Homo-oligomer: A and B are copies of this chain.
Amino acid sequence: MFTELLPFWTKYWYHVLISIIFCIFFKLFYEVFKKGTIFIENNRHNFNTLNNTVEQLKDINQETLENNEEPVLPINLKHIPYVYKRASEEEIFCRASKFYKIVAARRTIRFFSPDPVPKEVIHEIIKAAGTTPSGAHTEPWTFVVVSNQKVKKQIRRIVENEEEINYKKRMGVKWTTDLLPLRTNWIKEYLTTAPYLILVFKQIYGISPKGKKKIHYYNEMSTCIACGILITAIQYAGLVTLTSTPLNCGPAIRTLLGRPLNEKLLVLLPVGYPAKDATVPDLQRKPLSDILVEID
């Protein structure tokens, strides 16, 4: 075989060489081109993660424009005087200080009493969360309040299954080590003992009365801000909660609760009274000097 090929190599070696060199160059050029694209891609991501969102919004813009969509709010929206009564500086300081004391007493509670809480209280709390500001006043949130014991059990099953995988595989040694002092694991008893579970969904887009897509600007940020007000409302009322973000449980819980595809689970908050023997980790918060920078 080899001897048979010899005349070919001696006669046509430069053809073969040119082919090989061409292939190598082509491959090199392709790699450089690919790396360049990835580099540009990465840089764009690093320097400005918002560009992506803007691009997506532009696409939806185009879509909605083609449908001759109207603005979300009435175009002739009235602007009215803002009624405001200014308090004295002392009064303002007193109120600010009182509010700080109320929220400073808040702790994340993992042990709940099964005692029932009047539904009217939960309504006031959700109403408070509903006053949150949102991008272009789109109010991109849904609060699902579960008190049904069967549904709570199903949610607990979904969360515990996923959390076991999270703790054992997804989160890695560092994360679980960081959580060790808090004594958390994948067993979430509070999901069935707390009288209410509030599941906060962000609406990644809305549906107009005419059935068309409505853009929800900054829907995740707005809904997280609503969570801040929700947590504060719970604390102000004198109830307790735990701010949890069930990793990987979103789609299963969304399906279980029959929520539409435009809604994504952000936060799960059990709400109720603390158990009589509830404990909390002896945590300290950062002093003001660690979180505040003043430029006078």
Size of A's binding interface in residues, CB under 8 A: 139
Of chain B, the residue at the smallest CB distance from A237 is B96
By a CB distance below 8 angstroms, the chain B residues around A277 are 81
Q: Is A210 an interface residue (CB 8 A)?
A: no
Q: Mark A60-72, 1 if CB is under 8 A from B, else 0.
A: 1110110001011
Q: Is the Cβ of B229 less than 8 Å from the Cβ of A173?
A: no
* A124-B100 contact, Cβ under 8 Å, with A139-B285, A293-B257: yes
Tell me if B93 and A118 are in contact (CB < 8 A): yes
- Of the candidates B58, B172, B273, B280, the one whose C-beta lies within 8 Å of that of A61 is B172
Q: Report if A77-B228 is in contact (Cβ < 8 Å); known contacts: A86-B238, A288-B127, A291-B143.
A: no
Is the Cβ of A99 less than 8 Å from the Cβ of B145?
no
Cα separation A230 to B292 with both chains bound (whole Å): 13
Which of B8, B228, B237, B288 sits near A228, CB closer than 8 Å? Answer: B228
Q: How many copies does the complex hold?
A: 2
Stretch of A35-43, A185-193, A219-227 with 4 or more beta carbons under 8 angstroms from chain B? A219-227
Q: Which chain B residues lie closer than 8 Å to A77 at the CB level?
A: 181-182, 281-283
Contact A238 B71 (CB under 8 A): no
Contact B71 A181 (CB under 8 A): yes
Asked if B96 contacts A274 (CB within 8 A), the reply is no
A243 close to B128 (CB less than 8 A): no
- Encode contact with B along A1-37: 1 for CB under 8 Å, 0 otherwise: 0000100100110010000000000000000000000
Contact A174 B60 (CB under 8 A): yes
A contact set with B: CB distance below 8 Å: 5, 8, 11-12, 15, 47-48, 50-51, 54, 57-58, 60-62, 64-65, 69, 71-82, 84, 86-87, 89, 91-93, 95-100, 103-104, 106-109, 111, 117-121, 123-133, 135-137, 139, 141-148, 151, 170-175, 177-183, 215, 217-218, 220-221, 224-233, 236-240, 243, 245, 247-248, 251, 257, 259, 266-267, 273-274, 277-283, 285-286, 288, 291-296
Given contacts A62-B172, A65-B174, A80-B282, 17 further A-B contacts (CB under 8 A): A47-B251, A58-B172, A61-B173, A64-B174, A80-B279, A84-B274, A89-B121, A91-B238, A92-B121, A95-B237, A96-B236, A99-B124, A136-B182, A139-B286, A225-B225, A228-B230, A229-B232
